[in-house]
Chains A and B, each alone.
Chain A
Amino acid sequence: MKIAMPVNDKSMESCVGNTFGRTSYFLVYDTETKESIFVDNSAAASQGGAGIKAAQTVVDSQVEALITPQCGENAAKVIQASNIKIYKIINDSIQDNINAFKHGELSLLEKIHGGFHGHGGK
């Protein structure tokens, strides 16, 4: 099964990114073949709607699960429309999260945030 995770660098030794939409890369990992591919997140530099575009990238890499620290509501709508499950990370280690996923120890991400739209103010 293929899974995706936002990561900071193109390496299995790097850490899980702390955002979804504006992460630098996505790791696409195949749990059967142990093959890992790093996909550039072209949404990272977008002005707005980064979550939607990043979600499109995740969907296009044909994964069945996304493991992430957080996810906004628009991105979640895209991900869930493709029947991809969203799990919450347990820590920032890529390998720990893959192992936990394999052992069914990850829980589904429950808190979908309303997005970080707009800036300043209030």
Chain B
Amino acid sequence: MKIAVLSGKGGTGKTLVSVNLAVAAKEAVYIDCDVEEPNGHLFFEPKPIGSEQIVIKIPVVDEKLCNGCRKCVEFCKFNALAYINNKLIVFDEVCHSCGGCMLFCPEKALAEKEKMIGEVQYGVSENVTVVTGILNIGEASGIPIIKNLLNYAKGEQAITFIDCPPGSACIVMESIKDADYCILVAEPTFF
């Protein structure tokens, strides 16, 4: 069973609730999806058992092949590309790695390069497996990290607690995708 813990804003006690639920369960997995500031591990102090770097693929242009047709610019619905001064500019942080522009380029001028955006760390703390996602500072989207985190939970038999980022942005929707239940933690003060 997978239980996601979320809230409308930060500071309501999501981590407090999910950490304690995990400890109270006989055997549990705690997944920290709050990749911008994961802090569940501070309570568990898990013994590290491994880590994995998360890379995404972003386009690089070969200026010798690019003829400036702008098909890629029109295609990119995230507006990560601009064609300025006879040159294609790629905004790495805006790119969602959909790969579309590379397929569309009639001149085959776009190749992919790998970029590291963060890390997933595994550890154990008594009866709890602690999985923590960490997004590098300055990166716009932690979704590839969430995907990796949830992959870990896929075949998991033990009860899994997913500590979500605050709010209701795409990254939260991604975090609760596989959840069987959601717990909303509320607290009566303004933002």
Contact = CB atoms under 8 A, between A and B. Distances in A.
A53 B79 contact: yes
A119 interface: yes
A46 B87 CA distance: 23
Interface residues of B, number: 25
22 contacts: A43-B79, A46-B79, A48-B79, A48-B94, A49-B79, A49-B94, A52-B81, A56-B82, A56-B84, A77-B89, A78-B89, A81-B84, A81-B89, A117-B140, A118-B169, A120-B9, A120-B167, A120-B168, A120-B169, A121-B9, A122-B9, A122-B166
A94 to B, nearest CB: 26
Contacts of A33: none
A52 B166 contact: no
B159 interface: no
Interface in B31-53: none
The 4 A-B residue pairs with the shortest CB-CB distance in the complex, in nearest-first order = A49-B79, A120-B167, A121-B167, A53-B79
Given A50-B79, A78-B84, A81-B85, 12 more contacts: A47-B77, A49-B78, A52-B80, A52-B81, A55-B82, A59-B84, A77-B89, A81-B87, A82-B84, A117-B140, A119-B169, A120-B8
Contacts, number: 66
Given A74-B94, A120-B167, A120-B168, A52 B79 contact: yes
B77 A46 contact: yes
Interface of B: 8-10, 73, 76-85, 87, 89, 91, 94, 140, 165-169, 191
A27 B91 CA distance: 26
Nearest to A48: B78
Contact of B165 (A46, A78, A81, A121): A121
A59 B169 CA distance: 31
Contacts of B76: 49
Residue of A49, A74, A81, A82 with highest tally of chain B CB at under 10 A: A49
A74 B91 contact: yes
Contact of A49 (B80, B84, B85, B191): B80
B94 to A, nearest CB: 5
